[in-house]
Amino acid sequence: MNPEIAALRALFTAKPRPTDWPERRQRMDEICAVDPPPADVVYTPAGVGAIPAEWSLAPGADATRVLLYLHGGGYCSGSIASHRGLVGRIGREAGIRTLALGYRLAPENPCPAALLDALAAYGFLRSEGYEPEQIVVGGDSAGGGLTLATLLALREEGSPMPAGAWLVSPWVDLAMMGASMEEEDAIDPLIHGDYLRGLAAAYLGGRDARDERASPLYADLAGMPPTLVQVGSSETLLDDAVRVTRRLGAAGARVDLEIWPEMIHAWMLWAPRLEAGRAASTTASAFLRARLKPEKP
């Protein structure tokens, strides 16, 4: 086993997995933010109506280009704090501004609350003067599925697409029909079938698991912008990434899939501890720079 991954596994299993929602949320913030965010990045609170959000900007970054980031956590946990380091590092490396959204969580706020919040954040960016070609939407895990659901909702309302989409370990099938759900269950140290089924039930709130607002894998994916999909080979969600890539490509989207050997779910969260995390972040940053080209003078 990769020694860096072995060290992370030890970190994850140092304490028992919490069972109630407040403890789960606290534990995720602790684990995902175990490394401090970049010291030179300036983080500024923002508000999308009543929804908390946070800008980040590194020295020399171009504030006219922005990544709207939607955190993971199975729609039930995760926060601006848990993903602050990841978002700040990516923004700094890509040389762009970021806006991280603290969307409402289930089970208190089931589907489509998170989707409505993400749409509000996109509208907020437009009201701040950002044109679609100056925006990329991205997210990990549930945030990856939420990214795609947001783009589908924008298409349905006739709004222009952003410049691109970045999906990290995306959870796009709450029916959980991918073969890797079983094949990688003993390998993935974070995400297991029973755990995901509980999260899905909390977010769906009685809706069909194939509801396109929660499971965009089952939607018509025509009209989606250029997309980068990144996933680890040791994830139960590996097949979510593979299947959504195929469906995006079949629908006419330009899409690139990267499968990183031995990497675990949302491994870029721990990039300071993982060589492959830093390498994948560099690839993602290059994608963001390519999609968010500066305006011609």
Among residues 77, 235, 258, 285, the one annotated as catalytic is 235
Residue 220's H or E segment, with its range, is none
Among residues 56, 79, 141, 285, the one annotated as catalytic is 141
CA distance 150 to 184: 28
Tell me whether residue 141 is one of the annotated catalytic residues: yes
Burial of 39 (C-beta count, 10 Å sphere; 0-12/13-18/19+): exposed
Structure token pair of residue 155: 């298409």
Q: Is 142:78 a contact under the CB 8 Å cutoff?
A: yes
Task: Write the CA distances from 103 to 109, 121, 161, 254, integer angstroms.
Answer: 10, 9, 21, 28
**DSSP labels for 269-293?**
GGGGG-HHHHHHHHHHHHHHHHHSP
Among residues 77, 82, 258, 265, the one annotated as catalytic is 265
CA distance 52 to 73: 16
Give the distance, in angstroms, between the CA of residue 214 and the centroid of all CA atoms in the same chain. Answer: 14
Tell me whether residue 235 is one of the annotated catalytic residues: yes
Q: What angle do CA 122, 160, 73 make, to 5 degrees?
A: 35
Give the residue numbers marked as catalytic: 141, 235, 265
